[in-house]
Every structure is written in structure tokens, then in C-alpha cells.
């Protein structure tokens, strides 16, 4: 993988470009893709954003979101666009397998593949150019860096700003994680100087849900949360029946894993949801417990040091049983 800077001199030459991100894109993945889209569009490129799967409806406020192609829904159309593309930007994921049903297609493409990501252990051999930096707060911060470092900061307009800011806010836990380093605050100051109206973005991100989601959270915290004080760990296991009862859609469970972290002394929070095709895990830790290694070792996953995810083909009861076993094995690290 050659350094990202090597594409800077080629930015002004119009091409066909596809931007994609990890499956079930969150605010960082969608914000980075659309921020880059609105930047590249200004050079006269023909740009399409393709998401491997659907996304939370509360992301639809993002400028350009309505034009994003859902690969699962429009495979033929998306494949045709991918076949023609000169450049493929891969944002906020570290290996092509993370785009699920789109992975085989992306692997087969002969176009130039460019990675911009902040997860650990990137599959660098799968990309021609790129940057992978785990010190970055968010992929949105990295898109901002690309724009500024390429010498085109003047192209940061209101739409680019809103998209980038949304991802930075989301991935830094509203600036509370250690990843919100000084450069992140400089970035925000710069976006503000360029006219960003940040209250609007916060409202769109956090005050934009339906009643059922709040009732669901209440139910889950009351009935599905187990606290293991001897391991400083909280587990939430959500059966499919809860998702059906409360009409839970993609994205409605986002942020749920953060609530137990407000309990004094908790080091690890694990959330598992019984989805149709698999049991999907989310892990969050504080301090020196490495969620990335934990997810890789026991739950076929990965991610960041303090936030990771994984999966299991076992039943909910089985995978929960395994979790309870492995926290015992990790007792020393959790104390």
C-alpha cells in the first residue's frame, strides 16, 4: 500500500469514483463517505457512494444520504457502477471481508483501491494506496486531513463540514474518549470558522429517534442487563423477541452499549444481539482492557483497543455461556 499523499496530484483529473464503507455504516462511516463525496464532487469527478448494506434511518439527514446506493437492495446497479469505476475508496474498515456480500465483488475489481481507516491490523496488501492510523479519532478526521493536506481546504463547505463533524462527534463519544486529541479540537475550531452550525448536527444525531427506542432501552436496562462486580463487567443479551416487540430497526441499538459504562468501576461492557443471521457482539472497555484482542480471540471480531465487535454462529444462550466462561479466564485483566 503506497502512501495516500501520492494520489493528491491526481485529484484534479476527473474520473469515475466509488466510495464505500463498512457494513451497517455508522455516523463515522457514512459521514466520511459523504464528506469525501462532497469534496471530490467539486473537482468534476463522477462519484457514487455504495453502502454494503442498509443503514440507520437517523443518518438520512446527512446531505447526500438519499443518493447512497444500498448494495444488498440494488446489487445489479451497484455491480455495474463498480465495474466502471477507476478509483475505489474504502473508508472506516480494515479488510475487504468487512463489506459482507460486496466482498467478492470488491476483491475481483482491477481498479485502484484506496484505504482510509483507523482500525487495527489493516489488510494492507488488499489496497494500492492508503492510510491506516489507529491514533486518529475517526475516519472523518482522516478525510479532513486528506482535504487539508492536499491543499484544498477552501473546498470545505457547509455540507462537507456537517458530514465530517458528525463522524468525529460519534467516534469520540462527543469528545470524551482519549482519541479526542488536540488535533480534533483544532479541526472543530476550523470547521466552526468555516461556518459549521454544530447544534444542528447534535440534534440530528441524538434527538432524532422514535418513542419505541427509548421504551426498548428502558426494558433492556431493567430486564436484560447483568452486572458481574467480581469481574467489573456488564453483559446485556438481547433476544430476538425484544427486537420484534419494540419494532427495533437497524441503528436503534446503537449507543446502548454505552449506558452500563456509567456504573462506577465498570471496566468491560458486552452487548450481544440475536440477529437473524448471527449473534452480534459489541465490546467497550475503559483503561487497559484490550477489546480488540478480546474480540479477535473469542468472538471472530476486532476493532479498536477500547471498542470492538464480534460475532457468533452459536445460539444466544450458547454464546452468552461462552462469554461468562471467558470473563473468568480474563479475571486478572479485568481487575
Handedness of CA 308, 276, 245, 55 (dihedral sign): positive
Query: Taking the complex as a whole, how short is the minimal distance between the CB of residue 26 and Mn ion, in angstroms?
Result: 7
Residues in contact with ligand 5GP, shown as a per-residue x/- string from 2 to 41 under the rule CB under 6 A: --------------------x-------------------
Residues in contact with ligand 5GP, shown as a per-residue x/- string from 285 to 314 under the rule CB under 6 A: ----------------xxxx--xxxxx---
Q: What interhelical angle do 139-149 and 27-41 show, nearest 10?
A: 20
Query: Taking the complex as a whole, how short is the minimal distance between the CB of residue 270 and Mn ion, in angstroms?
Result: 20
Chosen from Mn ion, ligand 5GP, none, partner binding at 20 (C-beta under 5 to 8 Å by type): none
Residues in contact with Mn ion, shown as a per-residue x/- string from 81 to 120 under the rule CB under 5 A: -----------x----------------------------
Give the residue with the Cβ less far from ligand 5GP, 233 or 308.
308
Query: Taking the complex as a whole, how short is the minimal distance between the CB of residue 22 and ligand 5GP, in angstroms?
Result: 6
- In the chain, what are the helix, strand and coil shares in percent, each to the nearest 5? 45, 20, 35
Strand order in the sheet with 87-91: 2-3, 129-132, 112-117, 87-91, 16-21, 46-51, 69-70
Nearest to 242 by CA among 216, 222, 280: 216
In the structure grid, which three cell numbers stand for residue 23, read together? Answer: 457494513
Chosen from ligand 5GP, Mn ion, none, partner binding at 330 (C-beta under 5 to 8 Å by type): none
- CA dist 50 and 309 (Å) reads 22
How many residues contact ligand 5GP, by CB under 6 A? 12
Give the residue with the Cβ less far from ligand 5GP, 11 or 90.
90
Residues in contact with ligand 5GP, shown as a per-residue x/- string from 119 to 138 under the rule CB under 6 A: x-------------------
- CA dist 185 and 175 (Å) reads 9
Nearest to 279 by CA among 246, 234, 253, 317: 317
Give the residue with the Cβ less far from Mn ion, 92 or 162.
92
Query: Taking the complex as a whole, how short is the minimal distance between the CB of residue 158 and ligand 5GP, in angstroms?
Result: 27
Query: DSSP per residue over 46-73, as a string?
Result: EEEEEESS---GGGTTSTTGGG-EETTT
- Chain residues binding ligand 5GP by CB under 6 A are 22, 119, 282, 301-304, 307-311
Amino acid at each position: 500500500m503506497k502512501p495516500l499523499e501520492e494520489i493528491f496530484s491526481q485529484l484534479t483529473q476527473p474520473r469515475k469514483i466509488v466510495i464505500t464503507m463498512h457494513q451497517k455504516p455508522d455516523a463515522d462511516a457514512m459521514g466520511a463517505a459523504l464528506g469525501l463525496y462532497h469534496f471530490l464532487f467539486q473537482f468534476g469527478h463522477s462519484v457514487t457512494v455504495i453502502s454494503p448494506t442498509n443503514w440507520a434511518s437517523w443518518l438520512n439527514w446527512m446531505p447526500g444520504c438519499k443518493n447512497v446506493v444500498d448494495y444488498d437492495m440494488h446489487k445489479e446497479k451497484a455491480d455495474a457502477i463498480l465495474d466502471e469505476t477507476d478509483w475505489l475508496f474504502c473508508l472506516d474498515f480494515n479488510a475487504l471481508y468487512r463489506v459482507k456480500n460486496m466482498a467478492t465483488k470488491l476483491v475481483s475489481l482491477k481498479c485502484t483501491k484506496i484505504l482510509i481507516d483507523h482500525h487495527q491490523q489493516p489488510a494492507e496488501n488488499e489496497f494500492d494506496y492508503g492510510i491506516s492510523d489507529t491514533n486518529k479519532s475517526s475516519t472523518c478526521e482522516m478525510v479532513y486531513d486528506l482535504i487539508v493536506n492536499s491543499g484544498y481546504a477552501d473546498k470545505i463547505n457547509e455540507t462537507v463540514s456537517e458530514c465530517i463533524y458528525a463522524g468525529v462527534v460519534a467516534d469520540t463519544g462527543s469528545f470524551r474518549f482519549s482519541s479526542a486529541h488536540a488535533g480534533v479540537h483544532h479541526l472543530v475550531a476550523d470547521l466552526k470558522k468555516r461556518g459549521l452550525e454544530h447544534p444542528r448536527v447534535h440534534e440530528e444525531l441524538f434527538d432524532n429517534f422514535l418513542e419505541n427506542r427509548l421504551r426498548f432501552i428502558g426494558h433492556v436496562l431493567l430486564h436484560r442487563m447483568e452486572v458481574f462486580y467480581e469481574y467489573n463487567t456488564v453483559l446485556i443479551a438481547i433476544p430476538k423477541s425484544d427486537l420484534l416487540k419494540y419494532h427495533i430497526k437497524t441503528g436503534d441499538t446503537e449507543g446502548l452499549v454505552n449506558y452500563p459504562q456509567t456504573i462506577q468501576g465498570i471496566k468491560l461492557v458486552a452487548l450481544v444481539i440475536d440477529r437473524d443471521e448471527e449473534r452480534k457482539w459489541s465490546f467497550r472497555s475503559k483503561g487497559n482492557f484490550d477489546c480488540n484482542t478480546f474480540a479477535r480471540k473469542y468472538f471472530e471480531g476486532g476493532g479498536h483497543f477500547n471498542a470492538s465487535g464480534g460475532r457468533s454462529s452459536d445460539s444466544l444462550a450458547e454464546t452468552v455461556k461462552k462469554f461468562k466462561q471467558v470473563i473468568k479466564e480474563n479475571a486478572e485483566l479485568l481487575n
